[in-house]
Structure 1
């Protein structure tokens, strides 16, 4: 199989995701505009309340404007690095038996949903990024826009790891019932470990260093911290390395689970 055929096939999957999301305009409006706006508003009110309750101008060496900027970009990046919708679809394919139609096609289950995920993230990111841009300019919050390309590069690289984790969870559907519950538990864990709930540098040592060293910090804390001036480029490169290790380890586990699961699945005639 040539690279051109591989690229053309996966580009078609990405276009499929874009068209299917644009087809339902109200759902797209809620997903790309309304929900991010509400989330951003809640985050802003939360940090206003934190500083008012603390009666301080700074927390851990940063003023309120830095935390507001973190909240704006954090809510935005957190939406990019979630894949629960496609994770549910992958689990459902295996649970329902409709995976049969995919196994006989000249593509992998992993790439089929990964390309759709990337297409979906591309079309929603283009629109929803207007919200933090608008808020940053209105409130004059600290943001180093020249750092945005590298922050985006890390975020979408991290999205490969996110999809790989979803693939592992979906592969567990070959062996377990009610795998959907694992998705919920994983999402709650990542809510904390990515730094979406609050900046990871507010944690005590040695928990702080461990959390930042893990690849999950690349979801929110590292790109947002780099973008808002909390972190320097060295932490970004370390995060790229951490995510790379995570991708290798998780995909090895996923490949093993998938191979064994498909063999059991086809062997029992499911």
Structure 2
């Protein structure tokens, strides 16, 4: 991907595009255009053109604040990886059992930048309409799986999230102090709940999924109608499914 022109080494277009994508890592999940240019060691004009093409391809997405992050198309490619296929294959039987038992929508999500990325979903017979679908990226602070991932994420992730808490419904938690207290409770009790914070009329419940090293690698949850039943009654069933997936991943928790 290097070409020699007039005695100097020049990177190919492919190498430059990969350099742009390579500026994103767990410590830099969101970047400005100038930050990308500096990190990729590219001229601003070249960076602007490549980033625009990657956005059009859905390899990158641009937030309301002008910062860029990895897009859905990259996830779709990543979903073909052995690790993603393993997680989905392992979780599927437990998700099917949970959906059959409760009649609700059941889904599993992983952290993708500063969002919850849904990698699979089972629709229940009593399911309410939901916005989650495989490949969807939803806010951490307004979803059950998102709150689990946020509670177990690093300090930088929580700091960035707490700085911007958009109100999606009248019941979305947008007070940083209140959300921080909820995250502490999630770590202590082992599950998260929401009540009409992402979608009016829907409530959610989610639990963490651990790997063999004790790290939270995903969140498993369900969505139910807010008027249908008390979420607390569903906690044991969801926790059982979450523990089953975790054990299959080698966790001893």
**Same fold, TM exceeding 0.5?**
no
Q: TM-score, normalised by structure 1?
A: 0.26
Which structure has more helix as a fraction of its residues? 1
Q: TM-score, normalised by structure 2?
A: 0.27
- Between 1 and 2, higher relative CO (CA 8 Å, sep ≥ 6) is seen in 1
Which structure has more strand as a fraction of its residues? 2
